[in-house]
Amino acid sequence: MNSYLNTENLARSTDEVEYHPLRPFLPRNAKVLFLGSFPPQRKRWCMDFYYPNFINDHWRIEGEIFFGDRNHFVDAEKKTFRLDEIVDFCRQRGLAFFDTSTAVRRLQNNASDKFLEVVEPTDVPALLRQLPELRAIVTTGEKATETICASMHVPVVPKVNAFVAVPPLLLYRLPSSSRAYPLSFDKKVEAYRRMFASVGLLAEQPQSCTTEQTTMNIRQANIADLPRILELRDLARGIMRSNGNRDQWPEGYPTEETFRSDIAEGHSYVIEQDGTLVATFAFIPGPDPTYSVVYGGGRWLDDARPYCVVHRISSTPDAHGVMDALLGYCFSQTDNLRIDTHRDNSIMRHLLTKHGFAYCGIIHIANGDERLAYQKILGQHG
């Protein structure tokens, strides 16, 4: 069995400063990176891996979510966790682990984050460069969340059960799996389940998610949203016209029937800000028949891999951060996204370029009109 201990750090740790006792666990296929603050003192460990305290419920939560059994990873007789099974599971599912601090001082002789002084924060960008398929970072405590927000220059620290969009990633803050955290086991399970679903590790899809940085909530649309969706369509048309885009989206297009179909098929999403519906979009699994041929000498970045498509983006003129939130959500579901837009839609072309999309050529939509085609694949540059 491999050892995950960092023996060099253990040797140089003193009573004054502790260096991280574990090596980062970073499977190349990781979709989720859990970042805690720092491991508890080794006297509290039951195994040499992350979440080593037997009375911490992290591995029970994952057992309940993925196997329907909170004790799936528990060796009750030996009062430990089944390390080999945990490691195999994490590699198969794409779960990575480290902490937001590589060196700390303990101000009191206990495991509380409140009494940890960060001596050396983790170089998080260096971790991310080793995880090309990553979709989300998860923190579970105030100290870890504050530390990573500072290191990644995130201006607003998310509240528990919220996330901030840090495109192309989502930064989640979930309830602590420590039993000292005042929330029932079942409610913690539900919070973690929603996160795993939102990044595509469970079959079910999220109904809603909150981006704390922009106070935006993204959820699937329902038929009651249709009148507002049509208003947003008309507002988007007005924005196009005022910016010199005179031909895209003529009156009545996209049609009400198109939006009804999006809703019925589960492809329509709405974005709420402070309780007001400010944007809408369609998020659709490919293949899209209008994308089968690229004209003008162009080509897709990759024409073999599965992809998803975003259509019918509409928002109010004064909504800010819509594209960040929208793409953050979409890239939590897929690593391969295609979007097309009108040649005269300078705003959308600028936003796509800003967010790292590559121009791939010209496609023709169903009525024969041309559109400019863009694609972005996480971890790949055009």
Model pLDDT for residues 252-294, shown as the tens digit of each residue: 999 998 998 888 888 999 999 888 999 999 999 999 999 999 9
Band (pLDDT 50/70/90 cuts) for residue 206 is very low
What's the whole-number mean pLDDT along residues 99-114?
82
The predicted structure's pLDDT at residue 264? 81
What's the whole-number mean pLDDT along residues 245-254?
93
Q: Residue 158 in contact with residue 145, Cβ under 8 Å?
A: yes
Which residue, among 59, 52, 125, 135, has the nearest Cα to 90 in the 3D structure?
Answer: 59
What's the whole-number mean pLDDT along residues 316-327?
90
Q: What is the pLDDT of residues 130-141, one digit of tens each?
A: 999 998 899 988
Burial of 368 (0-12, 13-18, 19+ CB in 10 A): exposed
Instruction: Give CA–CA dist 260/255, Å, rounded.
Output: 9
Band (pLDDT 50/70/90 cuts) for residue 111 is low
Percent share of the chain, pLDDT over 70:
94
The set of long-range contacts for 19-25, using a CB threshold of 8 Å and a minimum separation of 24, is 19/102, 19/103, 19/120, 20/98, 20/99, 20/101, 20/102, 20/103, 22/48, 22/49, 22/50, 22/98, 24/96, 24/97, 24/98, 24/127, 25/49, 25/50, 25/87, 25/90, 25/96, 25/97, 25/98
Pairing of strands 18-19, 216-220: unpaired
Question: What is the sign, positive or negative, of the torsion defined by CA atoms of 36, 40, 45, 48?
Answer: positive
Q: Which residues contact 53 (CB under 8 A, 6 or more apart)?
A: 40, 44, 45, 46, 111
The predicted structure's pLDDT at residue 1? 58
The predicted structure's pLDDT at residue 207? 38
205 has a pLDDT exceeding 60: no
Q: What is the pLDDT of residues 10-55, one digit of tens each?
A: 999 998 999 999 999 999 999 999 999 999 999 999 999 999 999 9
Which residue, among 352, 227, 205, has the nearest Cα to 285 in the 3D structure?
Answer: 205
The predicted structure's pLDDT at residue 110? 62
SS3 call for 41: coil
Which residue, among 96, 97, 115, has the nearest Cα to 105 in the 3D structure?
Answer: 115
Instruction: Give CA–CA dist 197/170, Å, rounded.
Output: 13
What is the third-level CATH fold of 7-213?
Answer: Uracil-DNA Glycosylase, subunit E (3.40.470)
The total of other beta-carbon atoms located within 10 Å of residue 309's CB is 21
The total of other beta-carbon atoms located within 10 Å of residue 180's CB is 9
The predicted structure's pLDDT at residue 112? 65
Task: Name the amino acid, one letter, at 97.
Answer: F
Q: What is the pLDDT of residues 61-98, one digit of tens each?
A: 999 999 999 999 999 999 999 999 999 999 999 999 99
Q: What is the pLDDT of residues 140-159, one digit of tens each?
A: 888 889 889 888 888 888 88
Band (pLDDT 50/70/90 cuts) for residue 215 is low
Domain spans of the chain?
7-213, 221-377
Helix-helix angle 226-242:256-264, to 10 degrees: 130
SS3 call for 174: coil
Mean pLDDT of the chain: 89
The predicted structure's pLDDT at residue 381? 54
Instruction: Give CA–CA dist 327/166, Å, rounded.
Output: 10
Same fold, 7-213 and 221-377: no
221-377 CATH, one of 3.40.50.1820, 3.20.19.10, 3.40.50.2300, 3.40.630.30:
3.40.630.30
Largest interatomic CA distance in the chain: 72
Burial of 62 (0-12, 13-18, 19+ CB in 10 A): buried
Cα radius of gyration (the chain): 23
Number of H helices, E strands in the chain: 10, 18
Q: Residue 280 in contact with residue 314, Cβ under 8 Å?
A: yes
**Is the pTM of the predicted complex or chain greater than 0.75?**
no
